[in-house]
Amino acid sequence: MRAVFAQLPNALSLARLGCAPAMVWAIVAAEHAAAFWIFLAAGLSDALDGFLAKRFNLYSLLGAYLDPIADKTLLVTTYVMLAVYGWLPVWLVALVVFRDLLIVGGALLVRIVTHSLHMRPMMISKVNTVAQIGLAIWVLAELSFGFHETVGLRIAVYGVAATTVLSGGAYVVTWWRRVGAWEKTTPGGSNGGA
C-alpha cells in the first residue's frame, strides 16, 4: 500500500501532463468553461502533489523530472493556444517560451561545463510561475464568465513579462557565477594550471 501511495504525486503529475491536450481541445472547440476548470484542476493537482511529496517525503527521481515537465507543458501549451486566438499578446508568449528554453539550455550548458548541476527554484522563479498561472486563470475566467477588466489585465500582462525577464536574468547570473567559481577551483579552468 505504501508503494502505491508513494507514486501518487507522480500519478498527479502524469494527469497534469494529460491536461495539455485537453486544454488544446477545449480552446479550439471554444469550450472556455471546460478550459478554465481543466486548468484550475491542474493547478490544484500541482499544489496537492507538492504537499504530498513534502508532507510524506514522497520524493523520487522520476518525480523530480516529471513535475516540472508537466507544469511547463501545460502552461506553455495554454499560453500558446491563448495567443493563437488573440487572447494573450504573442510577444508575451514568445518571452515566456524563450525564458524556458534559456533555462533548459543554460542548465544543460552548466552541466556539460562543470559536470554537476544542483539548482533549486529561486524565489523570483516561483513568483513568476504564480504570476503566469494567475494570468492564464484570469484570461480563461474572462472567456468563461464574460467579465472584462482591460486595465487590470494589461497590468497583469506586464507584471508577468517583468517577472519572466527578472527570473530568466537571475538564472543567467547564477550560472555565470557558478561556472566562474568552477574555473577558479579546477586545474583545467582559465585561472588554474599551466
pLDDT digits (tens, 9 = 90+) for 142-166: 999 988 888 999 999 999 999 999 9
In a domain, 29, yes or no: yes
Of 69, 99, 127, which marks where a domain is finished?
69
- Asked if 177 and 96 sit in the same domain, the reply is yes
Taking the C-alpha atoms of residue 5 and residue 10, their distance in angstroms, rounded to an integer, is 10
How is 73-142 classified by DSSP, letter by letter? HHHHHHHHHHHHTTSS-HHHHHHHHHHHHHHHHHHHHHHHHHS-------HHHHHHHHHHHHHHHHHHHH
For the segment 123-145, the average pLDDT, to the nearest whole number, is 95
* Nearest one of 107, 104, 105, 115 to 189, comparing CA atoms: 115
Q: Is residue 130 a part of any domain in this protein?
A: yes
Please report whether residue 169 resides in a domain.
Answer: yes
| Residue 188 pLDDT greater than 60, yes or no | no
State the pLDDT at residue 91.
Answer: 98
What is residue 133's predicted lDDT score, i.e. its pLDDT? 95
Distances from the Cα of 29 to the Cαs of 24, 36, 125, 139, in angstroms? Answer: 8, 13, 32, 16
Number of other CB atoms surrounding residue 24 within 10 Å: 16
Q: How far apart are CA 194 and CA 117, in angstroms?
A: 27
Give tens-digit pLDDT for 69-117.
999 999 999 999 999 999 999 999 999 999 999 988 888 887 788 777 6
Q: What is the pLDDT of residues 22-52, one digit of tens each?
A: 999 999 999 999 999 999 999 999 888 888 8
Q: Is the same domain home to 31 and 115?
A: no
pLDDT of residue 193: 44
Confidence (pLDDT) at 117:
65
Kindly state whether residue 74 falls inside one of the protein's structural domains. Answer: no
Residue with cell 515566456: 96
Are 94 and 157 part of one and the same domain? yes
For 98, list phi and psi in degrees, rounded to 5.
-60, -40
Identify the pLDDT of residue 122.
87
Q: Among residues 56, 70, 68, 46, which one has the least CA distance to residue 6?
A: 56
Q: Which pLDDT belongs to residue 51?
A: 86
Q: Does the residue 121 lie in any domain?
A: yes
Alpha-carbon distances, residue 179 vs 33, 50, 107, 109 (angstroms): 47, 30, 11, 10
Q: Quote the pLDDT of residue 194.
A: 36
- What pLDDT digit, counting tens, does each position of 17-28 carry? 999 999 999 999
Range of the domain at 112: 88-194
Of 191 and 151, the structure prediction assigns the larger pLDDT to 151
Same domain, 191 and 99: yes
> What confidence score (pLDDT) does residue 162 get?
98
Q: What confidence score (pLDDT) does residue 119 get?
A: 66
In the chain, the number of structural domains is 2
- Residue at a domain's end among 37, 69, 101: 69
The whole-model pTM stands at 0.86
Widest CA span in the chain: 68
**Arithmetic mean of pLDDT, 61-76:** 89
